[in-house]
Structure 1
Amino acid sequence: MSDQRGVAIVRWPGRFPSAEGGPAALLAAYHLSTEAEKGAAVAGVDELPERYRAEVSDPRSVFVDDVVLVAMSGDTAVGCLVVTAPADGRSEIKRLWTDPAFRGRGVASGLLDAALARASEDGVVTVRLSVWRWRTEAVALYERFGFTVTESWDARDQLVCMERAV
C-alpha cells in the first residue's frame, strides 16, 4: 500500500497466514498498555475484558467488515490500525498502535495516511476516533492530521473524541 521509511503499510490479512503474523501481538500490546494506563493493569491477555480478548484471539472475525492495516518492517508487524466499515458516510479509526521500538519512524503517520486514503476510496465523508486524554503524543498526531475535538459519543471519563472531513 505505502512505504514509510522502510516500513510498508499493508492490508491484513493479505499475505499473512495467521493472526499471529499480523495484528494479534500488536493488539495485545495495545490493550495491555491501555489497561495499565487506566490503572487496571492485568498480567496477560487472558485477564483482559472479553471484547478485547476476542480482538487478540480472533481479529479476523472481530474485524470482518473493517479494514485492518498493518505496518511491516521486513517480515515483522510493527504497527496496526483498524478502519471501521463505512456507515452513514462515516468511519472510525481504532486501535492505532506502534511497537515502542519503532516509534519516531513515521509508522503511525503512515498508518493514518493509508487509513484516510482508504476511507476516501470508500466514499467516507467523515472519519472519527477516540483517544485517551493522557496520550498527548497521539492527540498531537491526530491534530497534525486535521482532526479536531468534537462532542463526545462515548461517556467514558478521560476519552477525547475527534473527527475530520475526508
Structure 2
Amino acid sequence: MSRAVVRIASDGDAAAVSELLRAYHERTEAEKVAHDLQEFGPLAPAYAAEIADPAFPGSDVLLAEVDDRTIGMVILRVAGADAEIKRLWVDPAARGAGAGGALIAEAVRRAAAARAASLRLSVWDWRHDALGLYRSRGFVEVASWETRERLVCLRMPLR
C-alpha cells in the first residue's frame, strides 16, 4: 500500500466526507454503548445532520488519500489563539498507511501557519491507539474542558 497524501476537501468530496463521518459516528456510538455510556439507538440528530450535509463553516476538512482512494479525514478549526481538531478518522481497513499521522501533521502545519498558540483535541479514553498516536506527535494531557465523562483532553503548544 502506498503512503497517504493529505489535501483539503472540495465541494466535490461531500459524498466521501459523508461516508467517513457515517463510519466515525457509527463506530463511536457503538463504542459508547459497549462502555455503558449510553443505550443503543439512532444517531443523535446533530450527527445525522453532519452526515447529511458535511459542511463545517469556518473549518478546514482535510482528507487522506492512498492511490486516489479517500481513506481518512480530520476537521481543523482555528478560532483566535486556539486550534482544534475533531473527527479524526481513518478507515480501519486502510490503517497502517500513515494517514493518521499525515492528517495530524497537516493540521499542525495549518494551525501554526494561522498563528494558533496551540492545537487541542479530545479523545475517548478507550481509544488507546489514537492516544498513542497523539502522544507520539507531541500532544500532552491537560485538564479537561469536556463535560462528557471518559474524554481525555490533549494539547500541543505551537509557539
TM-score scaled to structure 2, two decimals? 0.90
Structure 1 partner of 2:144: 152
CA offsets 1:60-92 (integer angstroms, 9 cap, x no match): 2xx1210100011233210000011x2230011
Structure 1 runs, 4 residues or longer, greater than 6 Å off = none
In 1, distance between residues paired with 2:98 and 2:65? 12
Structure 1 partner of 2:36: none
Aligned-residue CA RMSD (Å): 1.5
Structure 2 partner of 1:12: 9
Aligned residues: 153
In 2, distance between residues paired with 1:139 and 1:5? 24
Q: How does 1:1-166 map to 2 (within 5 A)?
A: 5-13=2-10, 17-20=12-15, 22-39=16-33, 40-42=39-41, 47-60=42-55, 63-84=56-77, 86-166=78-158
- The residue type equivalent to 2:17 in the other structure is P
Say if 1:5 and 1:106, in contact at 8 Å, map to a contact too: no
The structural deviation recorded for 1:30 is 0.4
- The residue type equivalent to 1:145 in the other structure is R
Say if 2:2 and 2:66, in contact at 8 Å, map to a contact too: no
Structure 1 residues 33 and 41, CA gap change in structure 2 (3 angstroms): farther
- The residue type equivalent to 1:152 in the other structure is S
| Stretches of structure 1 lacking an aligned partner (at least 5 in a row) | none
| Stretches of structure 2 lacking an aligned partner (at least 5 in a row) | 34-38
The structural deviation recorded for 1:18 is 4.3
The structural deviation recorded for 1:7 is 2.2
CA offsets 1:21-72 (integer angstroms, 9 cap, x no match): x311011100000000000445xxxx21011112111112xx1210100011
TM-score scaled to structure 1, two decimals? 0.87
